[in-house]
Amino acid sequence: MNGVPTTLVVVAFALGTATCLATSWLAVQRLERLGERFGFSEAALGLLAAFAADAPEITAAVTALAHHHHAVGAGVALGSNVFNLAALLGLGALVAGRLHLHRRVVVLGGTVALWIAAWTAAAVAGGCAAPVALAASLAVLVPYIVALAIGPTRIASGAGRRGPAARRALRWLAAAVEDEEDELSPAIRPAQGRAVDAAVAVVAVAAVVAASIAMESAATTLGNRWSVPGILVGGLVLAAVTSLPNAVAAVYLASRGRGAAVLSTAFNSNAFNAVAGLLLPAVAVGSVDAGPGGLLVAVSFVGLTALAVGLAHAGRGLGRAGGAVLVGSYVIFAITLAVTS
């Protein structure tokens, strides 16, 4: 957008943001209906909804990395994750009063979330190559997705052919998936999709991608003109804006007492952001050199994930005190990032 008047760039950012938020909701709804038509389990529908809702963050991050705006790209992908933990879990607990969670759901989702957060931070810090971090993340994320997709009954049926330790592990996994599905079923069970839903979903996803590209380009241009560091543009501005659909949905679910659905949305969205929004494109561009600010965002992602998992497990959920801790931690993160950048 070089050469475009600043006023028009601001308008482009506003229009891109509005279009992105509106069409991402539409894409999520239609894809959920299609998943229901094809017999997806409740947990698989939750994964599909999380991935579709992440389209703005992933597209903005990939676009920035493709243009070699590494600080912006890393900021969007990981800053969105820090924002998600505060807005989805923290604000959700504050609004609902308490998010009741099954400990098995916390352990299962939390283990995957911490594993991916740690490897992503290692890649940003230069402690390992992006392909290594991607492979390590997929080694856990793919089996997790498969377990949620096949459901607790099929997991439990496979336990009989294993040894004692494997049987116990598979039965525990089946129980954890069942706990999560019990929460997700009344929260996201949509109507069955039709051909028109497929057409609308394609158009909506295309609109989300186009709007996210325009939004990222406009934000980066404005940041350059106003001398705002790229890590702030991505880690605070774009991260918060692109995560709003998830935040609104999570607060709604929290108000209905669907604690596990909120936790699943937060952790699954963060996993997709890290893998598809940062590690995968980082393999294509060679590396992610996001500077000290990017490292701060990555470390904050790991720290806030560990904090959320610890609070949720210890208290069998999150109350207003735990929610306030997560929101307060995000405020400290934002101030620290702004000051140090």
For residue range 78-109, list pLDDT tens digits in order.
Answer: 999 999 999 989 998 998 899 888 889 899 99
At 32-63, the pLDDT tens digits run 777 777 766 666 666 777 787 788 889 889 89
At 292-332, the pLDDT tens digits run 889 999 999 999 999 999 999 999 899 999 999 999 999 99
pLDDT of 232 reads: 93
Model confidence, pTM: 0.89
User: 244 in a domain, yes or no?
Assistant: yes
**Does residue 122 register a pLDDT over 70?**
yes
User: 285 in a domain, yes or no?
Assistant: yes
**Does residue 234 register a pLDDT over 70?**
yes
Residue 144 domain boundaries: 42-58+69-189+227-340
At 12-35, the pLDDT tens digits run 999 988 888 788 777 777 877 777
CA–CA distance, 320 with 313 (Å, rounded to integer): 15
User: 175 in a domain, yes or no?
Assistant: yes
Q: Which CATH number characterizes residue 265's domain?
A: 1.20.1420.30
**Does residue 123 register a pLDDT over 60?**
yes
User: 7 in a domain, yes or no?
Assistant: no
**Does residue 187 register a pLDDT over 60?**
no
Average pLDDT, the chain: 86
User: 262 in a domain, yes or no?
Assistant: yes
Question: How many domains does the structure of the chain reveal?
Answer: 1
Which position has the higher pLDDT, 334 or 2?
334
User: 304 in a domain, yes or no?
Assistant: yes
pLDDT of 264 reads: 83
User: 11 in a domain, yes or no?
Assistant: no
pLDDT of 116 reads: 97
User: 143 in a domain, yes or no?
Assistant: yes
Confidence of residue 165 (pLDDT cuts 50, 70, 90): confident
- Which residue pairs, CB below 8 angstroms and at least 24 apart, start in 63-69? 63/212, 63/213, 63/216, 63/217, 64/216, 64/220, 64/234, 65/278, 65/281, 65/282, 65/284, 65/285, 65/288, 66/281, 66/284, 66/285, 67/220, 68/285, 69/220, 69/230, 69/234
